[in-house]
Chains A and B, each alone.
Chain A
Amino acid sequence: MAKRIDVSDLNIYYGNFLAVEGVNVSIEPRSITALIGPSGCGKSTFLRSINRMHEVLPGARVEGKIVMDGQDLYGADVDPVNVRRQIGMVFQRPNPFPTMSIYDNVAAGMRLNAKKMKKTDTDELVERSLRGANLWNEVKDRLDRPGSSLSGGQQQRLCIARAIAVEPDVLLMDEPCSALDPISTLAIEDLMTELKERFTIVIVTHNMQQAARVSEQTGFFNLNGVGQPGRLIEFNPTEKIFSNPDEKATEDYISGRFG
């Protein structure tokens, strides 16, 4: 079940360093929201604060509010572990568990949380998730091989299968294609378009064509200089951002004028 996310006045810190300042945005359910912007402007930091992965780092903290369907994710009584069960994440570099087979990687969310499941149910879950990630046909004969025996693009789809197997409401993807070849990239873009029927997807990308191809909404992050906090400069429908953005900085970035 896809959910809506409202972010208000979000400041994100690494220790005393303010990395991202004053983000206000609403992310629509059942759609793809792309985040673009130059390196170091805080896209990853913002993305990781949505599922409370940011605070895993020592000294990292967040001020402000993130509300998902009425529930404040940073509320005092909210367990970050539960937030992460509802908001899945796919990382830049594919990171399947090296000690586990393809099958176990997909079932990892259940296994690691020691959820008791019947073998047939697990089989079904694994097949459904791998089909969902468009990987089933490629790996159905070798589910017991290690996950690291796959190609980079297959590994990334395995990670997507692993993320959707726990049935989250939201899927965050941090440059999921930047380590992949163009064909694998297309495969994953197609996959995202299918997945948005069921999930709210937020994707960070350096590839502007990719943002234009897959997303409905686009946010542009920028920073004024080194050591300054990153800000969400503009958030608009993708078509508008790429044809007629409100902000000069956005236009400069999209047309390749920097500095």
Chain B
Amino acid sequence: MSQTVSPPRTDHPDLPGPVRTRRRLPRYAATGLYLAGLLLGAVLSALSGFNPALTVIYGVAIGTVAVYAASRAVEGTRKATDRLVTCIVVTAFGIAVVPLVWLSYTVLDRGLTRLDGTFFSNSMVGVVGEGGGAYHAIMGTLIITALAAVISVPIGLLTAIYLVEYGSGRLKRAITFFVDVMTGIPSIVAGLFAFALFTLLFGNDVRLGVMGAVALSVLMIPVVVRSSEEVLKLVPNELREASYALGVPKWRTVVKVVLPTAIAGLGTGVTLSIARVVGETAPLLVTVGLITSTNLNPFDGRMATLPVFAYYQLTQPGTATQAFLDRAWTAALVLIILVMALNVVARLISRFFAPQTGR
């Protein structure tokens, strides 16, 4: 049985064509029904004293039911189910976005008050009320995170290379297992680990920036390993074989063919792993502590970091409570901006370093 395409009919233009058509709801019907639903929702919620959240909840529920019913009556069950699922998916998306928008709005609203030059140029030395800034905390976060990256990226990358290119058998399985375990370590445990390690090495009451970097590395290494491993696995085996067939030894193949091919994904993974740890508070709280002055040397004493700075501004305000709260919000805002900047960098890396296939 083969289907033939019938030529267009010109003789009986009013006969049904080969494709059956069905009535459809007008284009703006769904939107209109939802607006009507919202209106009804407003009325309903007004019965018990007007409430915007309740309005939206009633409105969406009524709108969904109305769209489904209308579609079922006019377009049939298949289309109606389609519309129902579309409504549910969009609603779920909306619910997921609400906290994000709310949080961004709140942080922006409260953080902007102190987003000024002083905040970026002053430390907290001698500040008990208004003024002061987080220069020392911003620099501390940058230094400690960079140090954590310097420790984690080589270890993580080399581990991933071992797992994908060289490893086999029991050792490979053991490493994979422990990387999995490390992924689940709570961040406070990482902090306590670094704390215990340095206390054993240097005695009690030691506080160093590098301790924080070590704690962050414990969290960062498994992320780097995992993301790099996935990316290296994506490099087609044919490229490795092409290189071997030219008489290139394995290690050169890895360095000159596999890594350059995967560089975009590796860069993206590393950047995202940095973004993952830059906002960690607990491990830094127990290892690095906090100071009010600027200390740029991670091997000498306490340092300030943005998350810990925000934490203390919030929990231990002096007499001028509002000034401390404002600084905490601004520190949070700067941290969010930092993470977003890292995400943008990750995107740019994957855009610019991806192998070109353009014709």
Contact = CB atoms under 8 A, between A and B. Distances in A.
B236 to A, nearest CB: 7
A95 B238 contact: yes
A51 B248 CA distance: 13
Contacts of B356: 98, 146, 148-149
**Which of B245, B261, B357 is the most central at the interface, judged by chain A CB atoms within 10 Å of its CB?**
B245
Interface in A46-97: 51, 53, 56, 58, 81-86, 88-89, 91, 93, 95-97
B257 interface: yes
A113 interface: yes
A162 interface: yes
Contacts of A84: 244-247
A183 interface: no
B293 interface: no
A114 interface: yes
A127 to B, nearest CB: 19
A166 interface: yes
A225 B247 CA distance: 35
B242 A146 contact: no
B18 interface: no
Contacts of A82: 247
Given A84-B246, A84-B247, A112-B257, A95 B357 contact: no
B168 interface: yes
B238 to A, nearest CB: 4
A95 B246 contact: no
Dominant SS among interface residues on chain B: helix
A112 B252 contact: yes
Contacts of B256: 111-112
Contacts of A149: 356-359
Nearest to B238: A95
Contact of B245 (A58, A89, A111): A89
Nearest to B236: A95
A99 B247 contact: no
A133 interface: no
A98 B356 CA distance: 7
Contacts of B358: 146, 149
A56 B355 contact: no
A113 B252 contact: yes
B239 interface: yes
A100 B249 CA distance: 19
A83 B263 CA distance: 30
Contacts of B260: 99
B243 interface: yes
A45 B245 CA distance: 14
A113 B248 contact: yes
B109 interface: no
A217 to B, nearest CB: 23
Contacts of B244: 53, 56, 84
28 contacts: A53-B244, A58-B168, A81-B247, A81-B249, A84-B244, A84-B246, A85-B246, A85-B247, A86-B247, A88-B246, A91-B245, A95-B239, A96-B242, A97-B257, A97-B261, A98-B261, A99-B257, A99-B260, A99-B355, A108-B246, A109-B247, A109-B248, A112-B252, A112-B253, A112-B257, A113-B246, A113-B248, A148-B357
